[in-house]
Amino acid sequence: MSKFRVDSFTISLDGYGAGADQSLENPLGVGGNTLHEWALATRTFRTMFGQEGGTTDIDDEFAARGFRNIGAWIMGRNMFGPIRGDWPDDVWKGWWGDNPVYHCPVFVLTHYPRPAIVMEGGTTFHFVTDGIHAALKCATEAAAGKDIRVGGGVSTIQQYLHAGLIDEMHLAISPVLLGSGEHFFAGIDLPKLGFRRSEHVITPNATHVVLTK
Amino acid sequence: MSKFRVDSFTISLDGYGAGADQSLENPLGVGGNTLHEWALATRTFRTMFGQEGGTTDIDDEFAARGFRNIGAWIMGRNMFGPIRGDWPDDVWKGWWGDNPVYHCPVFVLTHYPRPAIVMEGGTTFHFVTDGIHAALKCATEAAAGKDIRVGGGVSTIQQYLHAGLIDEMHLAISPVLLGSGEHFFAGIDLPKLGFRRSEHVITPNATHVVLTK
């Protein structure tokens, strides 16, 4: 049966999943890039961005497994881009260039309709305006038995957690302080939602925790 | 110059410094004991409680340094005991038996006056009713040039952080989820308060982070 997963979602020591003040220059908010140093150093991520080398150890294994057996993605509108409100035109096509890293259907939660965008390499961005349950239904159909990964951001994951829909989460805690931004654990009682820690692996770059139900 | 320090303050993966519902049976709140497994396993803590053996590695080094060069402690009233409101009598003398682990003056923040309690082994509990600044002034005098350690709980440390008075913090993150309780980072912007990460050491039992100004 297909699972609804969070993978490689990275938070700071003080629990923030992104910095404050997202913009075109700071897709992850101010200071948010430092969160992802563990991932960006891996062979998996370097290969994805056309670079050579990279770490091949535990961090890389966690980065890689986040892309295995994924048939569809879901993301919040702020993960897709810095534009708020109605779409001014069709120019913005995500942060990831002509050939995005997803290579499968991606369902973007938004209140503003927009036609789907077919990208190179198998990624199609679909814009879902009727809520998280509808997005998950579409994604499940598109995934055809494979897993669905929710990318983020914090608010999107929290909504799916509150709805009891997420089966498994891999969180990476980076050894940085952000101080402000979107707090991942705010109002989220993971044990009460039925999660228990099933893996705990540490590297010099991150503390990896896998939570399952 | 004497420093005002936090040492071995332990939080869960989801940022809680104690469980919910503190009571005589659960001094650290429900589930709070699991937080401290890294510390309780160390030789330092086992020796302190009259037990043999214990780990002698990084966890133990962090546990031990929290007791080095400390001339006085400060703690909140809830760390001292489960009683709320006025003191009903003089029976309660802390969680730590006749010979507490402090071996120096301990200043307990409370709104309810009570005479000092002289314990065995050099510990005296003083009850300070005129606020955090007064407690720190008393502790600094008592410490006579040594450092002052603030034990907790979350609320006490947060008050001193907001007042800009803490010089150094060692936090230990335990690989457990608490889900609810007192959130350590709530409303605390550590970078804004001038802290930077000066050490980051991981063990199978805890992620240790030292923050200095």
Cut 0.90: pTM above it: no
Which CATH number fits the domain A4-83+98-212, given the four candidates 3.60.40.10, 3.50.50.60, 3.40.50.300, 3.40.430.10?
Answer: 3.40.430.10
ipTM score of complex:
0.81
Question: For the purposes of burial, counting CB atoms within 10 Å of the CB of A24, is it exposed (0-12), middle (13-18) or buried (19 or more)?
Answer: exposed
A6's enclosing H/E stretch is: strand A4-12
pLDDT of residue A26: 82
Interface of B with A (CB under 8 A): 13-15, 31, 171, 173, 175-180, 183, 185, 188-192, 195-197, 200, 202-204, 207, 209, 211
Taking an 8 Å cut-off on Cβ atoms, the answer to whether A197 and B189 are in contact is: no
Closest B-chain CA to A196: B177
pLDDT of residue A7: 98
Higher pLDDT, A142 or B187: A142
pLDDT of residue A21: 81
Q: Residues B56-95: pLDDT tens digits?
A: 999 999 999 999 999 999 999 999 999 999 999 999 999 9
Closest B-chain CA to A203: B202
What CATH topology corresponds to B4-82+97-212? Dihydrofolate Reductase, subunit A (3.40.430)
pLDDT of residue A146: 98
pLDDT of residue B181: 87
Signed CA dihedral, B68, B133, B12, A208: sign only = negative
Q: Residues A35-93: pLDDT tens digits?
A: 999 999 999 999 998 899 999 999 999 999 999 999 999 999 999 999 999 999 999 99
Q: Spell out, as residue ranges, where chain B has pLDDT lower than 50.
A: none
Confirm if A78 and A22 have CB atoms less than 8 A apart: yes
Residue count of chain B, please give it: 213
A10's enclosing H/E stretch is: strand A4-12
Taking an 8 Å cut-off on Cβ atoms, the answer to whether B179 and A191 are in contact is: yes
Ranges of H-type helices in chain B = 32-35, 37-40, 43-48, 58-65, 77-80, 131-143, 154-162
